Structure 1
Amino acid sequence: MWEIISKDLGNSALITAFAVIGVVMWLSVLFSKYLTFGRIHGSAIAIVIGLFLAWVGGTLTGGQKGIADLTLFSGVGLMGGAMLRDFAIVATAFEVQVVEARKAGLIGAFSLLLGTLLPFTVGACVAWGFGYRDAVSITTIGAGTVTYIVGPVTGAAIGATSDVMALSIAAGLTKAILVMVFTPVSARFLGLDNPRSAMIFGGLAGTVSGVTAGLAATDRRLVPYGALTATFHTGLGCLLGPSLLFFLVHTIVG
């Protein structure tokens, strides 16, 4: 019986992946509601569960794709890939009202620039503190602090090693989780109660996953606005990381 079920689930890998993620999200929401009393959003708990499952899958198979290396859960690799991720981001952006978006004005654009340069500087300083002295490694880790997408994109463009790119992803993921967890807690202090402030926050925080999950736990109506600038933030980081920022770091460290 189990062999038949396993074969059917394996043949419908993407459908199985949606079912698995659905169960994980359902459990995460329950944990958030009854264990943390809503203080930690279910999305943040789901990411922690996902990291644990990725470790389990890698340990069992010795592969490089986490739980997707298990035949039964191979569809998770497609579901979590760039195609569906970008589709979800674009679909979210369609909910933005142009009139509200214009209210961000120049300060929204400034938040994008500041939200790129400030975390990059922090990440570069941390990389230097841990003994990295070459411009490629410092730039890659700094770019990872911008977002976990900008890090590997920058590293691939300037020739970083795989271990340095892995560190950049870890840095960006840590930032995303912190933004997820602390956005609902600090929402009142930050004034996250209107589309304009959500767009500025998205530009400063940068990480799409962190911003969307954090705003979803604060006010779901703000999610499209924060996601909009956070998406631009990722694009700006991918543009500046392997070009201007790399040349700047190279000029400083040689």
Structure 2
Amino acid sequence: MDVDILISVCEDNGLIVAFALIGGLMLLSAWLSKVLTRGRLQGSAIAIMLGLVLAYVGGQATGGESGLADFTALSGLSLMGGAMLRDFAIVSTAYGVDLREIKQAGLTGVLSILLGVLVSFFVGSVVAALFGYTDAASMATIGAGAATYIVGPVTGTAVGASSDVIALSVAAGLVKSVVVMVGTPLVAPLIGLNNPKSAMAFGGLLGTTSGVAGGLAATDKRLVPYGAMTATFYTGVGCLLGPSLLYVTLRAVVGG
């Protein structure tokens, strides 16, 4: 009975429980970062990896599709990790931007976005073809997914790709996001990722907003608004070009 009462309380206060759980995970990750890596791998990156492991374990244990949120007592995680709070967090980063720094990026920021979308789309399309997806719709969808897991479904739906291909595009985008999250703190010292201008170029080239924001948070929290800003524009440009100019160009090259 006591367990039932506890579960009922957690259900009624799902979002509070979710914040408490994530807060505990962040504390544990910060401790692991200090003890195991001496601060070289930031706690945020460790938290991301632990979160993915827990989500996998939760999915295996419940047979569901929402990870730990499939446990009744932890159902608040589905709200905390849902689109509403995610988009709110992305938009809120803009309030930390210094417009003078954005103006200094100038042409570099614009070129990084265009180059990032085109390179990701090209690489994703080539990989899709190597795995047997040689029609224009599938190549364009997976190529767009290599840009971000948002651009992939938008493009796939617009060009009539199958649900399996759209799922692959989401998977490609998620893998990219995780790699960027975890890898950013490791490569930041090597590429000079330590100022707003480089953060904007970085966000424009890679584009995955969640990956860039998470990676920069683990590197230097002050850089998050700048990287997230160009990464958000990247997503918008990808959604515009993916199902239109890039798809039409690809179809002209490989056929229908």
What is the TM-score when the length of structure 1 is the normalising length? 0.92
Q: 1:195 to 1:187 in 2, by over 3 A?
A: same
| Long gaps (5+) in structure 1 | none
Contact 2:44 2:217 in 1 (8 A): no
Contact 2:124 2:143 in 1 (8 A): yes
Count residues in correspondence: 254
Contact 1:41 1:180 in 2 (8 A): no
Contact 1:151 1:169 in 2 (8 A): yes
What is the rounded CA distance, in whole Å, between the counterparts of 2:160 and 2:67 in structure 1? 25
What is the rounded CA distance, in whole Å, between the counterparts of 1:139 and 1:49 in structure 2? 33
The C-alpha deviation readout for 1:184-239, integer Å capped at 9, x for no partner, is 23323322232112111110121112222222233222211111111111111112
Letter paired with 2:117? T
Cα deviation, residue 164, structure 1:
2.1
Q: 1:156 to 1:9 in 2, by over 3 A?
A: same
Q: Which residue of 1 aligns with 2:198?
A: 197
Letter paired with 1:32? S
Cα deviation, residue 154, structure 1:
2.1
Counterparts of 1:98-177 in structure 2, within 5 Å, are 98-177=99-178
Contact 2:201 2:227 in 1 (8 A): yes
Letter paired with 2:191? L
What is the rounded CA distance, in whole Å, between the counterparts of 1:109 and 1:45 in structure 2? 32
The C-alpha deviation readout for 1:123-165, integer Å capped at 9, x for no partner, is 1111111111122221121111111222222223333333322
SS at match of 2:86: helix
Runs of 4 or more above 4 Å deviation: none
Contact 1:96 1:224 in 2 (8 A): yes
Q: Which residue of 1 aligns with 2:71?
A: 70
Corresponding position: 1:49 with 2:50: yes
SS at match of 1:160: coil
Same amino acid, percent of matched pairs: 61
CA RMSD of aligned residues (A): 1.8
What is the rounded CA distance, in whole Å, between the counterparts of 1:36 and 1:167 in structure 2? 34
SS at match of 2:96: coil
Q: 1:131 to 1:149 in 2, by over 3 A?
A: same
